[in-house]
Structure 1
């Protein structure tokens, strides 16, 4: 019970800690995830909605809602393919790119802050153990 309880409390602390950075940039974890995924894709920072769904592991309805919000805020654009009118690509706007660049920098620094109580060796050990645990649970 102690292990599960501490894991739950850590999840809460980590979530709140990361949310502070997202909120400071007008984002939430979901919008950060989409923008960061587009950023990781590399220039021209564009993916299809299907690729975004695969990378973020959400449903198509959830992705549509996220994209609608980000497009309304001017952070992404949806572009129709010149070759196939049914095909759409989602791309970061310059405003979206600049926002995610600033946010990622703070996010990484924040992650270091949130984990600094553990040495590099302890972090590696914990990561290995959590990976083992997660793998076993995901096989069920």
Structure 2
């Protein structure tokens, strides 16, 4: 009899098991083990994306707005330059300019010349930006906790560690575009 939620889940089959079994049957010469991992990651990312969109929409934000406001909110600095925001959010210069202007128009951030260097621009969160990004983050974390509920705390930690190990093999100073 299963003793943990992970044991219970392991004793059942999901749609990915059916797909893997089908490929094993059709092409027994292929090692389809990676499919069992990455198909599950792909399917889970769809559930996460729905949860993210809902959390952001409930706070009156789009995903890119959350990314921008979140970068500003978690920064140790009072303000960030457009270049620092580009680095944090992985977008181009032209995209960054447009996004900052849209957030300024919504009253979520301010954009001013730096008092230290009149040529530099600083972007700061405004009170409504703080309130919205905080609300979105609270909703997102609640949704993510719910998605992870079937895993025991140790399983969550093990999964985070395994995914970190895998991700570190790909992360560089030049992340993929898209």
The interval holding the TM-score normalised by the smaller chain is 0.7 to 0.9
Q: 2:73, 2:135 → 1: CA distance?
A: 12
| Alignment partners' CA distance in 2, 1:48 and 1:138 | 23
Structure of larger gyration radius: 2
- The gaps in structure 1 that reach 5 residues or longer are none
Q: Which consecutive unaligned segments of at least 5 residues does structure 2 have?
A: 1-34, 173-178
Aligned to 1:118: 151
TM-score, normalised relative to structure 1 = 0.87
Q: CA deviation at 1:85?
A: 3.0
TM-score normalized with structure 2 length? 0.70
Q: Does 1:66 align with 2:99?
A: yes
Q: Which has the higher helix share?
A: 1
Distance in 2 of aligned mates of 1:11 and 1:85: 43
Cα separation, partners in 2 of 1:43 and 1:113, compared to 1, 3 Å: same
From 73, 79, 85, the counterpart of 1:39: 73
Q: Pairwise CA RMSD of aligned residues?
A: 1.8
* Matches of 2:124 and 2:72, distance apart in 1: 7
2:124: which partner in 1? Answer: 91
- Residue of structure 2 equivalent to 1:52: 85
Between the two proteins, the alignment pairs up a number of residues equal to 138
1:129 and 2:162 are equivalent in the alignment: yes
